[in-house]
Amino acid sequence: MMRSVLPVLTVVGVIVALWYGAAVWMNAPWARDQAARAGVELSLSELVADTMVQERPVLPAPHQVAEGLWTGVTGQKVTSKRSLVRHGWVTLSATLAGFAIGAGLGIALAVSIVQSRAMDLSLMPWAIASQTVPILAIAPMVIVVLASLGIKGLIPKAIISAYLSFFPVLVGMVKGLRAPDAMQLDLLKTYNASGIQGLWKLRLPASMPYLFASLKVAIAASLVGAIVAELPAGATSGLGARLLSGSYYGQTIQIWAALMAAAILAAGLVAIVGLLEKVVLRKMGMAR
Amino acid sequence: MSLHEAPAIEAKEVSLTFETADGPVHALSDVNLTVARGDFVSFIGPSGCGKTTFLRCVAALEHPTEGLLRVNGLSADEARRRRAFGYVFQAAGLYPWRTIAGNIRLPLEIMGFPREEQDRRVEEVLELVDLKGFGRKYPWQLSGGMQQRASIARALSFDADILLMDEPFGALDEIVRDRLNEELLKLWARTGKTIGFVTHSIPEAVYLSTKIVVMSPRPGRITDVIESSLPRERPLEIRDTPEFIEISHRVREGLRAGHSYE
């Protein structure tokens, strides 16, 4: 345990130290400026102290971000507009809905591609092309078009989130479903097994390690999709909206606190999928 | 000729040519062979002699480009649809996510046997290959030899007339292989199945077979078919008898005649 904790703590320590250095360096001009206007001289220690406590720093110091995160989470009722729990939940619900749609779509498309050569030839190029279009260009269109149809709130965000998350699942599952070797396929042939039987008995179970690897990528992509979907069209809640309003009003601490909340959320989601992977693969005798 | 009197395997002028980028490869050339029901026939020869290809043709995993091939009096494809044979590969190929019993159950599930029948047959073949009590284990908990026995049980579970085995013991050490050969003979005696067995070991072929098909490469063809004079009951010690040595010698001669040692 200590062996793995020590290197991680070292890296965190280095990052925090660099961060403090950068905060002093980037916030110092404003502090000097203010001092010059007031007609006072700042000593070095006063200057450094000032860069740590500015209200709208260029780069907030780590403890300011931590404080912003803490008050955002615990400082008010979760129903408050300033609560990060509320905003986080809005984003999380869109992320989970988008992930469910994306993963389902990815698996379904992968199955059809592996089962049918025509689908393989016709579908795969489109799937790849879809990922070359920047999500930032598509998100506003989806939101506006759906809003004109009267669909607002969770659904449009989930669709954009699914747009990002289906692809890794599709690619991973195509590889996974094709993982069984020629001998195992021949064996099923000698049983005169149907394509569906081959899918259920061999291809799907054999693809599980690939599925979980791609789900980990997909759930992180889902979160990115949900946040991006909150940026256009003036959404008022969600971590993306929090980022956007922070940047409108120069609330850098708010931006960083929302960023950190998103990062923690992403890490948590990936960890949950990872745990699920361990349990399922161990149960299936496929743990590595 | 009624279906039940038809030979298990009948090949007339069977040829198979693969078209490759470097020109045609003659994997099989004019193969003529009749295997009676209940025979234990071994195919022996160096790599590239077409022994595995021929077995795959019988299983309808490959299709001859010329000639006639009948399995139980039917075309190979028809025989496959009727599930006329069980196939054992060189690797056990058990599914890691299924228990041993689950693996043996696989063909039974695919073929739609009722649940109680599945359970009964799994128990039966587990006993047949001497793996009684190992049904709940997972493949990784078993040795290589035991895994291969489980794969034989899997091929036996649906009680096909013909058992096709493609170098099933090739990856095992000699001590394990001796034991499995002995068990295979007992199993053959108990079940009365026709067995097609690919090997590149002369003692293995002579010990097991009632009929030994010697093959040679480029093009893949039969150079000799030896009807064994050994009795059906064969203890391991039979390998030291003059008769055994004489048959081994003839196999070796057949291989030499096909320039297999070049």
- pLDDT tens across B4-37, in order? 578 999 999 999 998 888 888 889 989 999 999 9
What pLDDT, on the 0 to 100 scale, is given for residue A87?
92
The minimal CB distance from B110 to the residues A201, A205, A284 is found for A201
- Beta-carbon separation of B86 and A192 below 8 A: no
Number of A/B CB contacts below 8 angstroms equals: 52
Contact (Cβ atoms closer than 8 angstroms) between residue B224 and residue B49: no
Could you tell me if A279 lies within 8 Å of chain B, comparing CB atoms?
Answer: no
Q: What is the pLDDT of residues B141-189, one digit of tens each?
A: 999 889 999 999 999 999 899 999 999 988 888 888 888 899 899 889 9
Could you tell me if A201 lies within 8 Å of chain B, comparing CB atoms?
Answer: yes
Cα angle B80-B83-B85, degrees, rounded to a multiple of 5 = 85
CATH of the domain at A223: 1.10.3720.10
Say if residue A112 is in the same domain as residue A225: yes
Q: What is the pLDDT of residues A22-33, one digit of tens each?
A: 999 999 999 888
Alpha carbon distance A225, A94 (integer Å): 9
pLDDT above 50: residue B1:
no
Could you tell me if A192 lies within 8 Å of chain B, comparing CB atoms?
Answer: yes
In a domain, A251, yes or no: yes
Q: What is the pLDDT of residues B40-66, one digit of tens each?
A: 999 999 888 899 999 999 999 999 999
Cα torsion through B163, B167, B173, B176, rounded to 10: 10
- What SS3 state is found at B15? strand
pLDDT above 90: residue A13:
yes
Q: Write the burial class of residue A237 (CB in 10 Å: 0-12 exposed, 13-18 middle, 19+ buried).
A: middle
- Smallest CA–CA distance, residue A195 to chain B, in Å, is 11
Q: Write the burial class of residue B112 (CB in 10 Å: 0-12 exposed, 13-18 middle, 19+ buried).
A: exposed
Say if residue A112 is in the same domain as residue A190: yes
Name beta bridge partners: B9.
B35, B71
**To the nearest whole number, what is the mean pLDDT of chain A?**
90
Neighbours of A245 (CB within 10 A): 17
Residue of chain B with shortest Cα separation from A204: B97
Could you tell me if A288 lies within 8 Å of chain B, comparing CB atoms?
Answer: no
Could you tell me if A179 lies within 8 Å of chain B, comparing CB atoms?
Answer: no
- Smallest CA–CA distance, residue A190 to chain B, in Å, is 6
Q: What is the pLDDT of residues A246-277, one digit of tens each?
A: 888 888 999 999 999 999 999 999 999 999 99
Say if residue A32 is in the same domain as residue A158: no
In a domain, A240, yes or no: yes
Query: Percent of chain B having pLDDT more than 90?
Result: 62
Query: Percent of chain A having pLDDT more than 70?
Result: 98
Say if residue A140 is in the same domain as residue A220: yes
Say if residue A234 is in the same domain as residue A271: yes
Contact (Cβ atoms closer than 8 angstroms) between residue A128 and residue A69: no
Instruction: Provide the domain count of chain A.
Output: 2
Cα angle A173-A177-A182, degrees, rounded to a multiple of 5 = 150
Residue type, A265: L
Residue A234 confidence class, pLDDT cut points 50, 70, 90:
low
In a domain, A11, yes or no: yes
Could you tell me if A190 lies within 8 Å of chain B, comparing CB atoms?
Answer: yes
Domain range annotation of chain B: 3-84+163-257, 93-159
Say if residue A188 is in the same domain as residue A234: yes
In a domain, A69, yes or no: no
- Smallest CA–CA distance, residue A283 to chain B, in Å, is 8
Alpha carbon distance A47, B91 (integer Å): 73
Name beta bridge partners: B162.
B85, B194
Say if residue A225 is in the same domain as residue A188: yes
Say if residue A101 is in the same domain as residue A223: yes
Residues of B with CB under 8 A from a CB of A: 56, 59-61, 80-81, 83, 85-87, 89, 91, 93, 95-97, 106-107, 109-111, 138-140, 158
* Helix spans in chain A (H): 2-38, 44-52, 62-74, 84-115, 117-130, 135-148, 154-177, 182-190, 195-198, 204-206, 208-230, 239-248, 252-283
Mean per-residue pLDDT, A166-175: 95
Chain B residues touching residue A188 (CB < 8 angstroms): 110
Pick the CATH number of B3-84+163-257 from 3.40.30.10, 3.40.50.300, 2.130.10.10, 3.40.50.1000: 3.40.50.300
Alpha carbon distance A220, A209 (integer Å): 18
Domain that holds residue A33: 2-59
Say if residue A278 is in the same domain as residue A147: yes
In a domain, A135, yes or no: yes
| Cis peptide, bond prior to residue A62, ω within 30 of zero | no
Contact (Cβ atoms closer than 8 angstroms) between residue A237 and residue A91: no
pLDDT above 80: residue B216:
yes
- Beta-carbon separation of B86 and A190 below 8 A: yes
Residue of chain A with shortest Cα separation from B106: A201
Say if residue A141 is in the same domain as residue A51: no
pLDDT above 70: residue B2:
no
In a domain, A43, yes or no: yes
The token pair at B145 is 């030899």
Q: Write the burial class of residue B119 (CB in 10 Å: 0-12 exposed, 13-18 middle, 19+ buried).
A: middle
pLDDT above 80: residue A3:
no
